[in-house]
Chain A
Amino acid sequence: MPEKILLNSSDIERALVRIAHEILEHNKGAKSIAFVGIKTRGVPLAQRLAKIIRSMEQVDIPVGSLDITLYRDDVTSLGFKHVVQQTYLPFDITNKQVILVDDVFYTGRSIRAALDALMDLGRPQTIQLAVLIDRGHRELPIRADFVGKNIPTAHNEEIKVFLSEVDAVDKVAVRRLDGENNEPK
């Protein structure tokens, strides 16, 4: 199946603007908020959210990046394929309202790993979760606080988020993985 475009650049932008508004509403302003993007594509999304909030509220929100490879639960399982990268948090997350940002919310296992990773780095006041796409199929009792778009999917479909900072183009696409490994990640 050829890939189908679900969101284009302005759809992504609109979704992020709405999420930014919701974050400000939920937290009653931008005070003590910090963004932590999950590598790879959560990081540019976190930067974009911070930029949108700055244009609305004229405040600089700290942005960090989190690599969750060392916290994954599949390191020693068959064919794991993750290069460890660096976590970079240029601020103390203790007593902050930390907003975790990721591109696709799926089984919940990455978020579980991210929560463990954050807890090792400090003691945030709260941790909230913002995702661009929620595709369902949760395997853990975790939910998102802010969702760009809910997209019901099948296990044998792949949702791919492209962001100009990393992929030179902005879009969200879906394609079916025919004949490939249909197991959820």
Chain B
Amino acid sequence: MEKIMSLNEPKLSTAGQESLPPLSIGLWRHRNVLDLDDFSPEEITLVFEIANGMVEVLAREVKKVPTLRGKTIATLFYEPSTRTRASFELAAKYLGADTVSLDAARSSVAKGESLIDSLRTLQALEVDTIVIRHPCSGAPYIAVRHLQTSIINAGDGCHAHPSQGLLDLYTIKRQLGDLKGRKVVIIGDIMHSRVARSNIWGMRSTGLHVVLCAPTTLIPQGMPEMLDKCGLDHVTIEHNLDRALEGSDVIMPLRLQKERQQSGFISSIREYIRLYQVNSERLKKARADAIVMHPGPMNEGVEISHDVAYSSSSLIEQQVTNGVAIRMALLYLVAGVKNQ
């Protein structure tokens, strides 16, 4: 249609797509975001659709919109974090909200204040949404029992990290498009990884096949039975990395939590590197156009080699950018539910 129809929007044609039944925001029902196990495929699609709009905002010269003006978002972190916290805070600021950040080490927590009291204080300060990270699995679940304020889980112990799961899946989807039959390999400390757990839930019913690859000591006991019981038949376990990588489309090494070495989960870091490091030699087993992702922070030279981390197949920086868009989408959606 010549030049006048210069509206060749990336991925979003005005005619075709919008004549489909529109994605209704009415199907969003989460006042809190705790994990992805209770997300329907439609809800995940909705988050991604909205994240697309947020990516456009992030690409602007003035990347700030007034959507959540007058709202306050608190980040309450009982564990160190750089990217997740910065990502949530920037997401809130780009949407026009005010943020307050509480560092457990430097707050009344150090004076012995309990989790619930800290949360109640934030609620009394009229905070609208609390983003919480806690070393104990399940902490945000206790929090929601005591609060009316919305809670977003930014990582609880070994349990869940839903915004990371969403941003990983979003990054994969933007890169690969159709996910049917594609193979994702998650490598390393599955046992202690909340990222792996949320990814497993998020990738359910996407058509992705997930392979968990780790030494037996770093896979929780009874994992196959548990996967079976939860109906997660898209996940398999493989202990040999070379076999796992064969024909794979997405390769996701996890941080080797070095403190685990003392606990005897691995015999030595050197052996771990030899058997489980993702390096350019190993990458040849994967598909030529395979992508490499990492939830960060990386131990370069341990679970991932330097050249792979900064190669053209690495989407690690893109994950960080997409993370802001995904968190903007979550804050936006949660803000809309709260008053209902």
**A residues apposed to B, CB below 8 Å:** 40, 43-44, 47, 50-51, 54, 60-65, 67, 69-72, 75-88, 90, 116-117, 120-121, 165-168
Contacts and interface: CB of A to CB of B under 8 A. Distances in A.
Contacts of A60: 3-4, 6
Contact of B53 (A43, A44, A70, A121): A70
Nearest to B71: A76
A47 B5 contact: yes
Given A61-B4, A62-B6, A75 B68 contact: yes
B6 A83 contact: no
Nearest to A76: B335
B205 interface: no
Given A47-B7, A69-B53, 19 more contacts: A51-B4, A60-B3, A63-B5, A70-B53, A71-B67, A76-B71, A77-B339, A81-B25, A83-B23, A83-B50, A84-B53, A86-B9, A86-B10, A86-B53, A86-B56, A87-B56, A90-B7, A117-B65, A121-B62
Interface of B: 3-7, 9-10, 12, 14-15, 18-19, 22-26, 46, 49-50, 52-57, 60, 62, 64-68, 71, 95, 329, 332, 335-336, 338-340
B22 A83 contact: yes
B332 A75 contact: yes
B57 A167 contact: no
Main secondary structure on B side of the interface with A = loop
A80 B24 CA distance: 11
A162 to B, nearest CB: 11
A152 B18 CA distance: 29
Contacts of A165: 14-15
Contacts of A47: 4-5, 7, 14
A82 B52 CA distance: 14
Given A87-B56, A121-B60, A167-B19, A75 B7 contact: no
B19 A86 contact: no
A47 B4 CA distance: 7
16 contacts: A47-B4, A47-B5, A63-B7, A64-B7, A65-B7, A69-B67, A76-B336, A76-B338, A81-B24, A81-B25, A84-B49, A85-B12, A86-B52, A88-B7, A88-B56, A120-B62
B15 A166 contact: yes
Give the 7 A-B CB pairs with smallest separation, nearest first: A84-B53, A70-B65, A84-B50, A70-B67, A88-B9, A86-B56, A165-B15
A69 to B, nearest CB: 7
A84 B4 contact: no
